[in-house]
């Protein structure tokens, strides 16, 4: 009887131990018990219970037989430019910083049906034209469904391999067999690792599978793209550490009722995070937009109060966008302040400046601001155009139809200088605008082009007298 008990204890020590832990679904913070508020990200009610299996002898991350790296002096490391895979899609190349870096891990997020799978399937086909072998792995669709989408997009190539699989180990076996140059996993929330005893899409599974594919991408030099679902707030579902593990995080934005989409980089270890790519959804798929300013201003009304045009910078590209403001008398004790595509707090600040410095009584007026086309602008150079739009709607005075307004507003009502004025002015001239209202301090260091009038202003009052009819 004693020997039987000892045998049971010995077999139990060799087996894996099961532990119950709690993880924050926002940042991945680990706790042995449930907490109402996460100490890491301060989120409320974000902890979920998961079962974690830990092997006593050896984990699936590796063991003592793994090769250890030695520290090397930074002087002895050769510095060279990363070799990039240049795609035919110039907008995608712009966002990625010049192309796809081999061995990089890219995370693409966006709302359902926004066009993530369409863009990646088109990109996969374009890479096959350069004799690159591509493996497209779908955990949500069968290979027949993927083939139907490829037929619609005319993305058929013998170098494009399709697999419907959710087991991370089977996916690794397929990668070892095909040896592709580019891998797409759609989506990371559907993939699971057998060594983790939790449901696919949980914090443990997403974290472990991402680390698994990161080791494959870095070890084999394969550029890998992970598609991530987003929450109702617009963030990528799963722990925030998922964004820290990858090399590049791209968000696919756009309104479902509009035909164009914006691809924005929020993290990029190989390039700038200020660039955006603009696409238009058509029957044949996503088509890149070479001149976004012309697209955003195509439906702009002329001679209407509350409408102005601003030249904003998205990375290295100037984009002309229409601002629309509506100021009307409120029926509530406190007036409403609503902004679409613009910071709500910044809108309240500009309204306060107009009340204090310009004497506009807006305390009994509702103010609504809209960036036409669903574009989001967050640079300070938009402030002056916002102020002119609000004043135009409040006074019911239209602005000049061929004016572009640029400038940052201070709390004392002064107009501050902005950067890259010459690029903004050339873009406005290219689209046929006649006048540019900008800060007086931004007129130094460059020569205005011929055929366009430049008006420098120092205060908001000077800008309103020059802009309003």
Whether residue 41 is contained in a domain is answered as yes
- 247 and 126 co-located in one domain: yes
Average pLDDT of the segment spanning 389-407: 95
Q: Is 115 annotated as a binding residue?
A: yes
Query: Residue 66: is its pLDDT beyond 70?
Result: no
The per-residue pLDDT for range 304-322, each reduced to its tens digit, is 999 999 999 987 889 999 9
Mean pLDDT over 404-430 rounds to 94
> In this structure, are 226 and 302 located in the same domain?
no
pTM of the model: 0.75
Answer with the residue of higher pLDDT: 21 or 408. Answer: 408
In a domain, 270, yes or no: yes
Answer with the one of 253, 268, 289 that is the final residue of a domain: 289
Is the domain of 26 the same as that of 106?
no
The CATH number for 348's domain is 3.30.230.10
Residue 187 is part of a domain; what is its CATH number?
Answer: 3.40.50.300
Its domain, for residue 144, covers 84-289
Q: Does the annotation place 21 within a ligand binding site?
A: no
- In a shared domain, residues 271 and 299: no
Integer Cα distance of 392 and 399 in angstroms: 7
Q: Does some domain include residue 106?
A: yes
User: Over the stretch 197-245, which tens digit does the pLDDT of each residue have?
Assistant: 888 888 888 889 999 999 999 999 999 999 987 765 555 655 566 788 8
Is 270 in the same domain as 364? no
| 149 and 274 belong to one structural domain | yes
Query: Is 60 part of any domain?
Result: no
Same domain, 368 and 398: yes
Q: Say if residue 116 carries a ligand binding annotation.
A: yes
**Secondary structure, 3-state, the chain:** CHHHHHHHHHHHHHCCEEEEEEEECCCCCEECCCCCECCCCCCECCEEEEEEEECCCCECCECCCCCCCCCCCHHHCCCCCCCCECCCCHHHHHHHCCCECCCCEEEEEECCCCCHHHHHHHHHHHHHCCCCCEEEEECCCCHHHHHHHHHHHCCCCCCEEEEECCEHHHHHHHHHHHCCCEEEEECHHHCECCCCCCCCCCHHHHHHHHHHHHHHHHHHCCEEEEEECECCCCCECCCCHHHHHCCEEEEEECCCCCCEEEEEEEEECCCCCCCEEEEEEECCEEEECCCHHHHHCCCCCCCCCCEEEEEEEECCEEEEEEEEEEEEECCCCCCCEEEECCCHHHHHHHHHHHHHHHCCCCCCEEEEEEECCCCCCCCHHHHHHHHHHHHHHHHCCCECCCEEECCEECCCCEEECCCCHHHHHHHHHHCCCCEEEEEHHHHCCCCCCCCCEEEEECEHHHHHHHHEC
Q: Residue 23's pLDDT is what? A: 81
117 is in an annotated binding site: yes
* 114 marked among binding-site residues: yes
**Structurally, how many domains does the chain consist of?**
3
- 304 and 278 in one domain? no
CB 388 within 8 A of CB 325: no
Q: Is residue 413 part of a domain?
A: yes
Whether 8 is in a domain gets the answer no
Is 101:147 a contact under the CB 8 Å cutoff? Answer: no
Do 104 and 235 reside in the same domain of the chain? yes
Residue 249 lies in a domain: yes
- Which has more pLDDT, 217 or 55? 217
11 has pLDDT over 50: no
Annotated binding residue at 111?
yes
pLDDT value, residue 81: 67
- Give a yes or no: residue 88 inside a domain: yes
């Amino acid at each position: 009887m004693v020997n039987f008990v000892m045998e049971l204890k010995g077999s139990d020590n060799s087996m894996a131990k099961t532990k119950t832990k709690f993880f924050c679904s926002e940042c991945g913070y680990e706790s042995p018990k449930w907490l109402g508020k996460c100490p890491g990200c301060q989120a409320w009610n974000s902890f979920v219970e998961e079962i974690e299996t830990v092997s006593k002898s050896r984990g699936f991350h590796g063991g003592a037989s793994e090769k250890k790296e030695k520290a090397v002096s930074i002087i002895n490391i050769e510095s060279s430019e990363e070799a990039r895979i240049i795609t035919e899609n110039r907008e995608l190349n712009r966002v990625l910083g010049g192309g796809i870096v081999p061995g990089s891990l890219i995370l693409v997020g966006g709302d359902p049906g926004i066009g993530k799978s369409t863009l990646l399937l088109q990109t996969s086909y374009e890479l096959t034209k350069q004799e690159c072998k591509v493996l497209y792995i779908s955990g949500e669709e069968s290979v027949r469904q993927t083939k139907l989408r490829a037929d619609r997009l005319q993305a058929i190539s013998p170098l494009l391999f399709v697999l419907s699989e959710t087991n991370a180990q089977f996916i690794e076996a397929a990668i070892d067999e095909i040896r592709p140059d580019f891998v797409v996993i759609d989506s990371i929330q559907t993939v699971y690792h057998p060594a983790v005893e939790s449901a696919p899409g949980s914090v443990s599974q997403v974290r472990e599978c991402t680390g698994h594919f990161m080791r494959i991408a870095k070890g084999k030099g394969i550029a890998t793209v992970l598609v991530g679902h987003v929450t109702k707030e617009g963030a990528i579902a799963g722990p925030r550490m998922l964004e820290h593990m990858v090399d590049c995080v791209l968000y696919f934005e756009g309104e479902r009722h509009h035909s164009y989409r914006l691809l924005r980089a929020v993290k990029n270890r190989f390039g700038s995070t200020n660039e955006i790519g603009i696409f238009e959804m058509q029957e044949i798929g996503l088509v890149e937009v070479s001149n976004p300013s012309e697209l955003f201003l195509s439906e702009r009304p002329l001679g209407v109060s509350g409408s102005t045009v601003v030249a904003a910078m998205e990375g290295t590209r100037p984009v002309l966008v229409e601002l629309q403001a509506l100021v009307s008398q409120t029926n509530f004790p406190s007036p409403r302040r609503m902004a679409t595509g613009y910071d709500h707090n910044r809108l309240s600040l500009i309204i306060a400046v107009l009340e204090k410095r310009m004497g506009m009584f807006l305390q009994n007026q509702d103010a609504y601001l809209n960036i036409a086309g669903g574009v989001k602008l967050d640079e300070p150079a938009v402030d002056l155009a916002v102020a002119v739009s609000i004043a135009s709607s409040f006074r019911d005075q239209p602005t000049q139809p061929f004016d572009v307004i640029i400038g940052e507003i201070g709390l004392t009502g002064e107009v501050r200088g902005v950067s890259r004025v010459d690029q903004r002015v050339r873009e406005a001239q290219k689209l046929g605008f006649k006048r540019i209202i900008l800060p007086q301090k931004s007129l130094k260091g460059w020569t205005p082009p011929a055929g366009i009038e430049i008006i420098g202003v120092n205060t908001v009052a000077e800008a309103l007298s020059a802009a309003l009819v």
